[in-house]
Structure 1
Amino acid sequence: MNLYLVNILLALVWAAITGAFTLSNIVFGFLLGALALYLIREQAGSLGYFRRGMRFISLAALFLYELVLSAWRVALLVLSPRMNLKPGIFAYPLKVERDLEITLLANMITLTPGTLSVDVSEDHKFLYIHAIDCSEPDALRRDIAQGFERRIMEAFR
């Protein structure tokens, strides 16, 4: 059985036992269930469960970091007296293959200020991205590949 489902069930059992189905109590039950699964990780085969959880946290932290950094860059661009920008659209070759991974990557790019996912090619090999400053598309491709895409592949595979 999927250990995420077991952990959710343990959280719901905790909420039922305590009689409080509040969000904080369910989250506490989830953490308690994760601790219980951690204690029996070798018997339950849950070694990968915790690694994957850390990879999801790493992906979320990277997204928040990139969000703040790109918001700062866009603010500096807008406030600068000379806007020496070269907006454009470039094709990004995808390494992720699953629809969920492509959607997550496209949404993370879109939610980051200064970039916007425009379209995915018919064969799901390229993601077309609009950048507010597309003067160095190779650097943008490298940043996406070494950042969001790498962390998405680590978290989902």
Structure 2
Amino acid sequence: MSDPSTALPSDPRRVTSAGDRTRVVIIGGGPGGYEAALTSARHGASTVLIEGRGLGGAAVLTDVVPSKTLIATADVLDQVAGSQQLGIRDADTGAAPTAHTLNVDLAAVNRRVRDLAAAQSSDIRASLLEAGVEVVDGYGRLDGP
């Protein structure tokens, strides 16, 4: 795989006949899109990133972050259910915790999933803005011949 930064002009700050710097528009704020936008801006190009569903793409919003949160919840549940070997007992009943005596508040887990995804998406936005990328909340498409 080639280095994408080599595809940029040797001096993207060069002035074109229109008097502008090299302009780059990226459609999609998933991992490839936001990394391309950061690279473009760091090389001096005027960069716009267009994203309509949330920065980070599916990895942040529906796949990796949510699944890791659900896995972490299941891991903690499993650890607590097995903690009777360590002498852990319910303070009121003295019973050892088991998978049958524990429950998970799925609404709370879902809130945590959404909050983590929103925080990571917000961090990506901050990085883009800090690098000088203009972020447009919306949708784009290529149109024409």
Instruction: State TM-score, norm by structure 2.
Output: 0.29
Larger Rg: 2
Q: Kindly indicate whether structure 1 or structure 2 has the higher relative contact order, using CA contacts under 8 Å at least 6 residues apart.
A: 2
